[in-house]
A and B are shown apart, each in its own frame.
Chain A
Amino acid sequence: MIFALAGNQNCGKTTLFNQLTGSNQHVGNFPGVTVDKKEGVVRDRRAAKHRFGHRRCPSAPNAEGQQDQAIVVDLPGIYSLSPYTSEEIVTRDFLIQEKPDGIINIIDATNIERNLYLTLQLIELQLPMVIALNMMDEMRSNGSSVDVNQLEKELGVPVVPISAVKNEGIDELIEHALFVAREKRRPERVDFCSGAVHRCIHATAHLIEDHAERIGVPVRFAATKLVEGDSLMSDLLQLNQNEKELLEHSVQEMENELDTDREAALADMRYTFIESVCAETVVKHGESREHLRSERIDHFLTHRYLAIPLFLCAMMLIFWLTFGVIGSFLSDLLSIGIDFVTAAVSAALLAYGINPVVHSLVVDGICAGVGSVLSFLPIIVVLFFFLSILEDTGYMARVAFVMDKLLRKIGLSGRSFVPMLIGFGCSVPAIMATRTLASDRDRKMTILLTPFMSCSAKLPIYAVMTAAFFPKNGAVVMVSLYMMGIIIGVLCGLLMKNTLYQGNPVPFVMELPNYRFPSPKSVGLLIWDKAKDFLTRAFTVIFIATIVIWFLQTFDIRLNVVADSSLSMLADVGRWIAPVLAPLGFTDWRVSTALITGFSAKEAVVSTMAVLTGTNIATLSEALGQMFTPLSAFSFLTFTLLYTPCVAAIAAVRREMNSGAAACWVALAQCGIAWVAAYLVHQIGGLFVR
């Protein structure tokens, strides 16, 4: 049995999903888009089986038992089933084509008017359905109430009051969901309108009935959408010219009679019905405490002068904790562990007298590669801990509100600000964090722009180079690099806005939810999810990439093990590439080789240069002095700032864009941009400096 969980954003849908499924979740994508599709098996519910399960023949063996496995699919958080965003389209397609056995529609009782708007559209789909009336604990504690029986009667759908956060009413919800699905209880009424709208929808339903039934689309839903002027639905139904004219005529009649247009007429019809239902069923006692609390918090957090400083403080605190205190502590701990394991493995292999090449593969390839990838893990875990708190409390929406104006010029909204900011720490979690963006288009653009934010792994390169060439102006050089990344990112954003992502941006009409205490379970599950996701990639794509680099580093072209790293295949590749980089001012093959190793992790650039020049970190700057002039050093820094992100980031791009081609494209495009920028720096700089 498959259930679809549908509801608005910020109504506790994720919390309910976690309550329904526990940690038994699988995250994927809906086909063709980067919209999350989470599935999970509904938790064990003995009580439910007892009451409804095998009522008729209690002794029959489990013929139904197989069906008893109930799966719930978490649909994207949406406000309407209109055909404009990929989230809405995905939801529609899923509900119409996959025909789940039941819909669980979660609505926020404290914000019931707007939540019911989606409910009325879901009802039209005529699938078995149950409403989970969430946040009932908040309603009660404020002395407000909802007449559940009356609401059920008005909507013709069972309503179960729950509190997802407190795990109240969940068993009852599961029981009801199983019941409606098993008994195929469809909503008892679909008609919420009167007058002209009513007549128009009925006429349309009559007109298209055959078409809709032929392709298996609920008639009522199709009719309403057609009246609303939904072009997707009219394409789907393949109406002929005559039918289209009849439809248009009937809709125009309605418009004339109501003196409004079709879209407004239907929205108005739904809200008018909802207002009358709420007037009968909902009693609210003044402002809720949660709302008043939110207002007080917002007094500071979206304050005219305090908002931006407070936001920057919060982000600095998060960065400091992530990359400074906790992250580095955990990273150190992890590297001690990895060193210990590596040493033990190495000693064991040596004692066994294994072939030195295999020893090198295991120690220098596998252990070192996996180790360097694992060092990302603490950062990801800690960062997502903070991020999920920002998101779940409702602060992220405020950040979007405060920062929106900055990002609008490049066709994005304030929502993209936080992922991009995280990019200054590490591109991997930044790209993974784009999941929270509400629109597919914004998500893709943000992913493509994030690599321009110089990540912290490039700092060692900047530090070594500035110490060697710009000891007096280190800070200026650093700042100019960061600024250059941002400026080029903005230019690319403008370019993308006017080419690739020309389409209309999703309108920035966003809810500011009340501040709420995050649910520890949701935070925990999100961290677990991200860590698992990252580790899966670490041991597939990233693992293979590090082995390839090890292979190139260890063997020469005739597959002999090299004694001197300058004879390795990697050095050969470096020599081939060196002429390409020559116009940028650095011709030495050791530089290009180091840049290649930077693909596995940016930290490797410095260590490779040290190895290839036969120096250590302390004496490296002398060797660098022979390879670069200050100008070519700056050109090199420009190149490292912009060229391909590391393999972990590319793997994240591939995962989040759901496309290997896009990931390759990102790697190549970044290299191209880096080359052009470094070339310009070198040539223009050459006019002033010699």
Chain B
Amino acid sequence: MTLDQLPIGKSGRIAAVGGQGALRHRLLDMGLTPRTMVTVVKVAPMGDPLELRLRGYLLTLRLEDARNITIEEEAQ
């Protein structure tokens, strides 16, 4: 499953970060590294981007970019 498919309020553990170049590097820099827990907090009013919570802070990410991140859903 990819991060954009994770329902609001649910958490998952990052399995892999795909994509390339600046975007991928940025995702890794911001702490979206494998084995990190991510929670989808909310979706913006127009349906995009996402609001995520990881490593104790909030991050926004567009759906198309979230599609690059593979996750394993975790039961809370």
Q: Please list the residues of chain A having a beta carbon within 8 angstroms of any beta carbon in chain B.
A: 79-80, 82, 84-85, 110-111, 113-114, 117, 260, 263-264, 267-268, 271, 284, 294, 298, 302-305, 307-308, 397, 400-402, 404-406, 408, 504, 506-513
Contacts and interface: CB of A to CB of B under 8 A. Distances in A.
B30 interface: yes
Contacts of B61: 508-509
Contacts of A110: 56
A304 B30 CA distance: 26
B34 A404 contact: no
Given A294-B58, A508-B49, 19 more contacts: A82-B25, A82-B29, A84-B25, A84-B26, A111-B57, A113-B55, A114-B55, A302-B42, A304-B43, A307-B44, A404-B44, A404-B46, A404-B62, A405-B48, A506-B22, A507-B27, A508-B60, A513-B57, A513-B58
A402 B44 contact: yes
Contacts of A263: 24-25, 28
Nearest to B31: A114
List 9 tightest A-B contacts by C-beta distance, closest first. A267-B28, A80-B29, A84-B22, A512-B58, A405-B46, A507-B23, A113-B55, A307-B45, A111-B57
A631 B41 CA distance: 53
19 contacts: A79-B30, A84-B26, A113-B55, A117-B31, A263-B24, A268-B33, A284-B56, A307-B45, A404-B48, A405-B47, A406-B46, A504-B23, A507-B22, A507-B26, A508-B62, A509-B27, A509-B61, A512-B59, A512-B60
Contacts of A408: 62
Contacts of A271: 31, 33, 36
A72 B48 CA distance: 40
A80 B22 CA distance: 12
B72 interface: no
Nearest to A299: B42
Nearest to B64: A408
A511 B58 contact: yes
A510 B29 contact: no
A349 to B, nearest CB: 60
B49 A401 contact: yes
Given A82-B29, A113-B55, A302-B44, A510 B22 contact: no
Interface in B1-55: 17, 21-31, 33-34, 36, 42-49, 51, 55
Contacts of B22: 82, 84-85, 504, 506-507
B30 to A, nearest CB: 6
B33 A264 contact: yes
Contacts of B30: 79, 114, 509, 511
A101 B45 CA distance: 47
Nearest to A82: B25
Most chain B Cβ neighbours within 10 Å, of A85, A401, A513 = A401
Contacts of A80: 25-26, 29
Contacts of B43: 304
A510 B65 CA distance: 12
A302 B49 CA distance: 12
Q: Summarize B's interface: helix, strand, loop or mixed.
A: mixed
A35 to B, nearest CB: 17
A114 B57 contact: yes
Contacts of B21: 84, 504
Contact of B34 (A260, A308, A405): A260
Nearest to B29: A80
A114 B30 CA distance: 7
A659 B48 CA distance: 36
Nearest to A306: B45
Contacts of B48: 404-405
Contacts of A406: 46
A459 B67 CA distance: 46
Given A264-B34, A302-B42, A304-B45, A511 B57 contact: yes
A511 B30 CA distance: 9
Nearest to A287: B56
A512 B33 contact: no
B34 A268 contact: yes
Nearest to B28: A267
A308 B60 CA distance: 17
Nearest to B48: A405
Contacts of B34: 260, 264, 268
Contact of B29 (A79, A111, A294, A397): A79
A397 to B, nearest CB: 8
Contacts of A264: 17, 28, 33-34
A114 B36 CA distance: 12
Contact of A401 (B17, B26, B51): B51
Contacts of A117: 29, 31
A264 B34 CA distance: 8
A305 B42 CA distance: 13
Contacts of B25: 80, 82, 84, 263
B55 A303 contact: no
A111 B49 CA distance: 22
Contacts of A512: 51, 57-60
A511 B52 CA distance: 9
A509 to B, nearest CB: 5
A400 to B, nearest CB: 8
A113 B31 CA distance: 8
A268 B31 CA distance: 9
Nearest to A408: B62
Contacts of B56: 110-111, 113, 284
Contacts of A401: 44, 49, 51, 60
Contacts of A114: 30-31, 55, 57
Contact of A302 (B17, B28, B47, B51): B51
Given A264-B28, A271-B31, A404 B49 contact: yes
A298 B44 CA distance: 11
A410 to B, nearest CB: 15
Contacts of B27: 507, 509
A501 to B, nearest CB: 14
Nearest to B19: A507
Contacts of B58: 294, 511-513
B47 to A, nearest CB: 7
Contacts of A308: 45
